[in-house]
Structure 1
Amino acid sequence: MPPEPETAQKLNEPRPDSSKDTDKQEYGSEVEELAPPSRFPPEEEETLLRESNHHKFVANTLFSSAKYENAINKYEEAAAICPHYLDYELAVLKSNIAACHLKLEQWKEAIKSATESLDGLSRLEKAEFGEKQAEGEEKSKVKEDGDNGVGEEIVSSGAQKSAPATREETSAEAARRKRQEDVLRIRAKALMRRARARSELGGWSSLSGAEEDYKALSTMTNLSLADRKIIQTQLRTLPPRTKAAQEKEMAEMWGKLKDLGNGILKPFGLSTDNFKMVKDEKSGGYSMNFQNS
């Protein structure tokens, strides 16, 4: 998938009296770093976002020209300029960076960038939609309580039949719905990119993670037909790959443990071959038997 094309308080505290903190400054026992402001003033935020979007536009152009390394640099510049609390805009940039790494077959880097994108979207959903959903439920409860009161308007049966079945969506509700759709769209892209990178990287852990990502994607309703076909194919082919990787890594681990055990037992004229694990069919547990060679 191509990169997402859409556009995505100053600290004014007085300097501390240096004479009071001479020991701290001299010995560095307590070094304080200036934290970024919780939010920039609206005008400054707009300026920073405009500059960030300019870098993103340049990065999109570089991506379209297959200049992926240069595109990554520009996307990272855009992310560095973008206010740190704009999780959606940053998630778009991180997802685009993941797309660049996929083109370069840099699987670990793609996984990292896609995960950062998904983490940002999770913070956004919790901060925005979680609180607003709670507010909506409270307003709905208040409305229900009000409807049970004695001040109801009496409406004729004819007027009731002619009334619309549902009320029109307010502009605020429409904007919120659009925001949720945008978040879900970027989440789907980031998940697809991370899932592919995990599948390509291989290994028990990565393949298990790819399975989890594709299972999450299979429940989403905003995917293209092509993406759905990829998901179905991966969910069919990944389980045997994951199992094979698990068995291989377990065998390698036991091999290393055996080498370690042989190193410990060698001074005593023994080896791990002198010990045999026997399974108890009744309990399912194992016991160790010593065999003198």
Structure 2
Amino acid sequence: MVLIESTKTVEEILIKNEPKPSLQPETMSAIDGNDSDGFETASEREISDEEDDSKNDTVTSQEEPHQSDKPEKKEEQIELIREGEVIIDQEKAMEEANEAKVEGNNLFVNGLYEEALSKYVLALELVKDFSESIELRSICHLNRGVCFLKLGNYEETIKECTKALELNPTYSKALVRRAEAHEKLEHFEEAVTDLKKILELDPSNDQARKGIRRLEPLAAEKREKMKEEALTKLKEMGNSILGRFGMNLDKFKAVKDPNTGSYSFSYQ
């Protein structure tokens, strides 16, 4: 270790790290603007510290200020490379997902619904974390719903179409397929609701309008049937309780209110 006078140390460091012009405010401003856009570098910070404590400093290596710059630059380069890798991986995943979707479509056309389902699952898995994949995912969920429809699994059709609609609330094709599955399960009320949403999105859709006209009477009939079944169960329950007191519900008359559809009971 060699001991060097503090003034010499500062001058040597300044020679290696900064231009020689005097360090007046105007000159420093120009240097900052050209060299570092106004940001203080690591070497400048070290020089500033040494100038403040120049009387007591001992320098072991004149290259230390230069070495302190290197880790920051390397970290910055690595970060840029990592960002580039993420972009490339995302583009590759989207490309592979689209290929899987196309393969699934080809399998569907050939009636291979189970195999098509697996391709759509692959596509969904590849892009599940990418916000840019919303459209692709909604299509794959719908396509899975159509596969389940062909396989007669209407409950799964409803689930997949619902997932597609969560991603794209205005996806009319998903509403059509879900309405179809609801009808198969005799969920007429729910089917009518989906068809009405289709008309809201596309008032000129005659198929949806015809479906509503066809299904609304079935929905009303099912509602009445469900009410009758509920009343029958209530009557049986009531008779089991009132029978202990020598009474029964046959002496009660139910009258339906035509305005509200509700019932009132009177004892005969």
By the TM > 0.5 criterion, same fold?
Answer: yes
**Equivalent position amino acid for 1:65 in 2:** N
**Equivalent position amino acid for 2:193 in 1:** E
- The count of corresponding residues between Structure 1 and Structure 2 is 181
Q: What is the percent sequence identity of the aligned residues?
A: 33
Q: Which blocks of at least 5 consecutive residues in structure 2 are unaligned?
A: 1-84
Structure 2 residue corresponding to 1:104, chosen from 134, 151, 170: 151
SS of residue matched to 1:197 = helix
Higher RCO, 1 vs 2 (CA within 8 Å, ≥6 residues apart): 1
Task: Give CA-to-partner distance per residue, 1:210-259, whole Å, 9 cap, x none.
Answer: 22222222244598xxxx44223212211111111111111112122222
Provide closer, same or farther for how the CA distance between residues 267 and 81 of structure 1 changes in structure 2, counting only shifts above 3 A.
farther
CA distance in 2, matches of 1:278, 1:231: 36
Structure 1 residue corresponding to 2:244, chosen from 264, 267, 272: 267
Q: Which residue matches 1:201?
A: 185
Q: Which residue matches 1:188?
A: 172
Provide the alpha-carbon RMSD of the alignment: 3.0
Query: Would you say 1:118 and 2:99 are equivalent positions?
Result: no
Higher Rg of the two aligned structures: 2
SS of residue matched to 1:41 = helix
Deviation of 1:119 after TM superposition, in Å, equals 0.9
Deviation of 1:285 after TM superposition, in Å, equals 8.5
Deviation of 1:279 after TM superposition, in Å, equals 6.9
Q: Which residue matches 1:48?
A: 93
Provide closer, same or farther for how the CA distance between residues 51 and 260 of structure 1 changes in structure 2, counting only shifts above 3 A.
farther
**Equivalent position amino acid for 1:193 in 2:** R
Provide closer, same or farther for how the CA distance between residues 258 and 77 of structure 1 changes in structure 2, counting only shifts above 3 A.
farther
CA distance in 2, matches of 1:280, 1:214: 29
Provide closer, same or farther for how the CA distance between residues 65 and 251 of structure 1 changes in structure 2, counting only shifts above 3 A.
same
Structure 2 residue corresponding to 1:63, chosen from 108, 111, 114: 108
The answer to which structure has the higher helix fraction is 2
SS of residue matched to 1:270 = coil
**Equivalent position amino acid for 1:266 in 2:** G
Structure 1 residue corresponding to 2:196, chosen from 211, 215, 218: 215
Provide closer, same or farther for how the CA distance between residues 278 and 68 of structure 1 changes in structure 2, counting only shifts above 3 A.
closer
Q: Which blocks of at least 5 consecutive residues in structure 1 are unaligned?
A: 1-39, 123-183
Provide closer, same or farther for how the CA distance between residues 280 and 60 of structure 1 changes in structure 2, counting only shifts above 3 A.
closer
Provide closer, same or farther for how the CA distance between residues 253 and 60 of structure 1 changes in structure 2, counting only shifts above 3 A.
same
Provide closer, same or farther for how the CA distance between residues 41 and 269 of structure 1 changes in structure 2, counting only shifts above 3 A.
farther
Task: Give CA-to-partner distance per residue, 1:245-276, whole Å, 9 cap, x none.
Answer: 11111111212222222233333333222433
CA distance in 2, matches of 1:235, 1:222: 13
Deviation of 1:91 after TM superposition, in Å, equals 0.5
Q: Which residue matches 2:34?
A: none
